[in-house]
A and B are shown apart, each in its own frame.
Chain A
Amino acid sequence: AQKVTQAQTEISVVEKEDVTLDCVYETRDTTYYLFWYKQPPSGELVFLIRRNSFDEQNEISGRYSWNFQKSTSSFNFTITASQVVDSAVYFCALRSGGSNYKLTFGKGTLLTVNP
């Protein structure tokens, strides 16, 4: 069985602050894939990043960065210099063979960036 835990239900920051969204996952498979999705108030689900279990390199894309650590089974997401448009629900998700490769989501973290 696989599981994704996003312990932070809601986070509120002021614009330009840095914020980190935590994600901890559980799987017995050695090959798996981790994802982050964004769901803005308009409701669509927007893909942000995919990471496979063999690639622990951190990734940076503009103000977004991701820290993948297999030793702690974590895949955390940091937004630098947050902006109001970053306000959304962010989901961490996992795919692995042990669960027929279905995408299992965490419960999401609601990020509110205040001006």
Chain B
Amino acid sequence: DTAVSQTPKYLVTQMGNDKSIKCEQNLGHDTMYWYKQDSKKFLKIMFSYNNKELIINETVPNRFSPKSPDKAHLNLHINSLELGDSAVYFCASSQDLSDAYTFGSGTRLTVV
């Protein structure tokens, strides 16, 4: 069983469209995250949820909206996609403040 699963793995879409990426974890972790990895491989946190509550919201355009229906799911919705949104988006989860993150396999988003 995959611990942290993201869908889709690849997403190609046109500028201006709205898209969602789904993430689910079966580890029973309390906290989930979204990270963005740019073309230079730099990993930057976007959001974090703890038990469905938003606890980290970095400087991210408000076109990006996370939604956590329960603690096992954290989805990312992106409105009005722009070329600069092209990146790999990673979902992750952890149990507590000292725990390592377990990452999903990533979603490669390409905006054309």
Contact of A33 among B43, B45, B98, B108 (CB under 8 A): B98
Q: State which size class the interface on A falls in.
A: 20 to 34
> Whose C-beta in chain B lies nearest to the C-beta of A43?
B106
B contact face: mostly helix, strand, loop, or mixed: strand
Q: Which segment, of A12-20, A69-77, A78-86, A97-105, faces chain B?
A: A97-105
A104, chain B: closest CB distance, angstroms: 8
Pair A105/B55 contact, Cβ less than 8 Å: no
> How many residues on chain B are close to A (CB under 8 Å)?
23
Decide yes or no: A43 and B98 within 8 Å by CB, A105-B42, A107-B42 being known contacts: no
Pair A100/B55 contact, Cβ less than 8 Å: yes
Pair B56/A47 contact, Cβ less than 8 Å: no
Give B contacts to A, CB under 8 Å: 33, 40-45, 48, 55-56, 88, 90, 92, 97-103, 105-106, 108
